[in-house]
Amino acid sequence: MKWRLREDRAAQSLLNKLIRSNLVDTTNQVEVLQRDPTSPLYSVKSFEELRLKPQLLQGVYAMGFNRPSKIQENALPMMLAEPPQNLIAQSQSGTGKTAAFVLAMLSRVEPGNKYPQCLCLSPTYELALQTGKVIEQMGKFYPELKLAYAVRGNKLERGQKISEQIVIGTPGTVLDWCSKLKFIDPKKIKVFVLDEADVMIATQGHQDQSIRIQRMLPKDCQMLLFSATFEDSVWKFAQKVVPDPNIIKLKREEETLDTIKQYYVLCNNRDEKFQALCNIYGAITIAQAMIFCHTRKTAGWLAAELSKEGHQVALLSGEMMVEQRAAVIERFREGKEKVLVTTNVCARGIDVEQVSVVINFDLPVDKDGNPDNETYLHRIGRTGRFGKRGLAINMVDSKHSMNILNRIQEHFNKKINKLDTDDLDEIEKITN
Ligand SMILES: Nc1ncnc2c1ncn2[C@@H]1O[C@H](COP(=O)(O)OP(=O)(O)OP(=O)(O)O)[C@@H](O)[C@H]1O
């Protein structure tokens, strides 16, 4: 179970990167805690104000960035300050963290020096590659700049020293390269980045390895740590690897059920749920819909049954490779399919804004069978900015699931109305 959870976190993070094409916008304020509260707090509204090297500014503009993102407004001046300052930053995926630390690494690296100067730790090989791509894009006007991947399978000859200026890799291999194999001289590292700290600590051993690497670095090395979430365990870890930090936090936008019409359909078993779904199918596919099932098996079954009825549906399932999943989501996002059938684990953390109908084919429950209110809210709720109206339909097929539904109603103090799927007038009314 633990193993799956960890795999999921890394996979979700990768999925988000693969399907993201834009910055996640937010109206929340950035919270800044300065190491030295008496020093002035700088914030920038343009990349010019940062006085970047011309090649780097060119790289930033070539990526299509016009102005710093919310978190970058504060993080960049801190990260580029002289003398260098350490930083712990937390904000949700897609808010511009990667771009920020890549910019910091590129502004400090001296491409003329042929040895590693910046070191970036990532939880998995795939995530390391994604960051590597951003470094390559942003650094493309530095012809001398080279990147090495310290990942398992990347074998070098013993006694070799690497000449690439930036090394990005997973903790175990980086540790070997710095200590046992001595491919990297850790004393020459100027910038140390620990990315996706929350995903990192979910993997056994990564935490210790990261700390051991950090201890080999010089005292004046700039240490930067990023995380999408900030549980206690992440915070404890962050404080161990980043001494005297500035801290930046950007809260996630709150979701609400206020603009959502919620209904439930009473059935006796799975087949009846399927029939009910078929009855409302025409109505829900006026917009795009997501259907959530409890298990992969049910999701697979449902997608197959719907296809047999002649409906075109997409299936997002845990058995698929991350790239395949990204492709399914991309197609759905482009509107090539109107209905996406999925399990909760698969869809967690994926925002598909245009979905206005959510069907809970199974209600969300935690591992003990209690209502999972957080997941319910996340599936159905909307943030203020995307405050479009939505429709949620819950399928209930037993006393037990009715009880779950009642507890969800009580928790949110919001009434969920009964819907009769044979009443066509009613169906038409709710989808208008
Ligand atoms: N200042 C900016 N202006 C426009 N786009 C930006 C800016 N900064 C980053 N982006 C783009 O926004 C998207 C998200 O940025 P980035 O990957 O840096 O976020 P992140 O917080 O690191 O999220 P994740 O951890 O999921 O990668 C990327 O496509 C990136 O190219």
Report the pLDDT value the prediction gives residue 344, as an integer from 0 to 100. 74
Report pLDDT digits (tens) over 18-54: 776 677 777 788 889 888 888 877 899 999 999 999 9
Beta strand pairing status for 30-33 and 245-250?
antiparallel
- Cβ–ligand 1 distance for 280 under 6 Å, the answer no
Tokens of 59: 């790289």
User: Which residue shows structure tokens 């000449």?
Assistant: 163
Angle (CA) 269 379 353, round 5° = 130
Most confident of 138-147, 256-265, 311-320, 340-349: 138-147
- Cβ–ligand 1 distance for 92 under 6 Å, the answer no
- The verdict on pTM exceeding 0.80 is yes
* Percentage above 90 pLDDT, the chain: 62
Q: Tell me the pLDDT band of 386, cut-offs 50, 70 and 90.
A: low
Which residues sit opposite 314 in a β-bridge?
340
Instruction: Report the range of poorest mean pLDDT among 13-27, 125-139, 169-183, 216-230.
Output: 13-27
Cβ-count burial 256-270 (b if 16+ within 10 Å, e if not): bbeebbbbbbbbeeb
DSSP label at 39?
Answer: S
Cα-to-centroid distance, 228 and ligand 1 (Å): 13
DSSP letters for 306-346: HHHTT--EEEE-TTS-HHHHHHHHHHHHTTS-SEEEEEHHH
Tokens of 390: 């939505």
- Cβ–ligand 1 distance for 394 under 6 Å, the answer no
Residue nearest atom 8 of ligand 1, based on CA coordinates: 96
Which ligand 1 atom is at minimum distance from the Cα of 67? 1
Report the pLDDT value the prediction gives residue 302, as an integer from 0 to 100. 96
Most confident of 166-170, 390-394, 416-420: 166-170
Average pLDDT over residues 201-210: 92
- Cβ–ligand 1 distance for 390 under 6 Å, the answer no
- Cβ–ligand 1 distance for 17 under 6 Å, the answer yes
The C-alpha atoms of residue 214 and residue 194 are separated, in whole angstroms, by: 10
Report pLDDT digits (tens) over 111-122: 999 999 999 999
Is the model's pLDDT at 7 over the cut of 60? no
To the nearest 10 degrees (0 to 180), the angle between helices 270-284 and 424-431 is 60
- Cβ–ligand 1 distance for 95 under 6 Å, the answer yes
- Cβ–ligand 1 distance for 69 under 6 Å, the answer yes
Report pLDDT digits (tens) over 46-103: 999 999 999 999 999 999 999 999 999 999 999 999 999 999 999 988 899 999 999 9
- The answer to whether 128 touches 16, Cβ cutoff 8 Å, is no
Angle (CA) 280 284 290, round 5° = 115
Report pLDDT digits (tens) over 394-420: 999 999 999 999 999 999 999 999 998
Tokens of 235: 């915070």
- Cβ–ligand 1 distance for 23 under 6 Å, the answer yes
Cα-to-centroid distance, 368 and ligand 1 (Å): 37
Report the pLDDT value the prediction gives residue 256, as an integer from 0 to 100. 83
* Percentage above 70 pLDDT, the chain: 94
Report the pLDDT value the prediction gives residue 346, as an integer from 0 to 100. 67
- The answer to whether 265 touches 128, Cβ cutoff 8 Å, is no
**What interface predicted TM-score (ipTM) does this complex get?**
0.96
Q: In a 3-state reduction of DSSP, which class is residue 293?
A: strand
Which ligand 1 atom is at minimum distance from the Cα of 72? 1
Cα-to-centroid distance, 150 and ligand 1 (Å): 23
Report the pLDDT value the prediction gives residue 3, as an integer from 0 to 100. 40
Cα-to-centroid distance, 420 and ligand 1 (Å): 45
Cα-to-centroid distance, 280 and ligand 1 (Å): 39
- Cβ–ligand 1 distance for 123 under 6 Å, the answer no
Residue 298: CA atoms inside 13 Å, Cβ hemisphere, count?
17
To test the pocket of ligand 1, the residue of 16, 23, 70, 138 to mutate (highest count of ligand atoms within 8 Å of its CB) is 23
Report pLDDT digits (tens) over 230-255: 889 999 999 999 999 999 998 877 77
- Cβ–ligand 1 distance for 130 under 6 Å, the answer no
To test the pocket of ligand 1, the residue of 65, 227, 351 to mutate (highest count of ligand atoms within 8 Å of its CB) is 65
Say which amino acid occupies 89.
Answer: A
Report the pLDDT value the prediction gives residue 350, as an integer from 0 to 100. 66
| pLDDT, the chain, mean | 89
